[in-house]
Amino acid sequence: MRNLFIAAPVDMSKGFKDFFDTIGLTGGGLVTKGIAAVIAIIALRMLLQLSGDPKGALRKGSMAVGTLFVAVVLALYGDTLFSTVTEAKG
């Protein structure tokens, strides 16, 4: 019987730090992506709850699209935006 190696062994002795390094995220980057996902879900819920009034629907819809835009920007550039906060020099 042959040995089937799917992937090379990875040393995970340092716990979560090694795990985040293998997926290419830091702990702060993962939190930022999670916050962006929650904001995106809130924005989608806002879009689904639009009223029948055209003026109110336009106002609420534009607010929901703006919230969704903030979520996308946070997901794409959040780790760069908050890198100065997490790497503060004391």
Query: Tokens at residue 81, please?
Result: 């935006």
**Residues of the chain with pLDDT > 90: what percent?**
14
pLDDT at 41 over 60: yes
pLDDT score recorded for residue 80:
75
Q: Please tell me the distance from the alpha carbon of residue 59 to that of residue 41, in angstroms, as a whole number.
A: 19
pLDDT at 1 over 60: no
**Span 49-70, pLDDT tens digits:** 877 888 888 888 899 999 999 9
Q: Please tell me the distance from the alpha carbon of residue 90 to that of residue 76, in angstroms, as a whole number.
A: 28
pLDDT score recorded for residue 30:
73
**Residues of the chain with pLDDT > 70: what percent?**
61
- Indicate the SS3 state at residue 35: helix
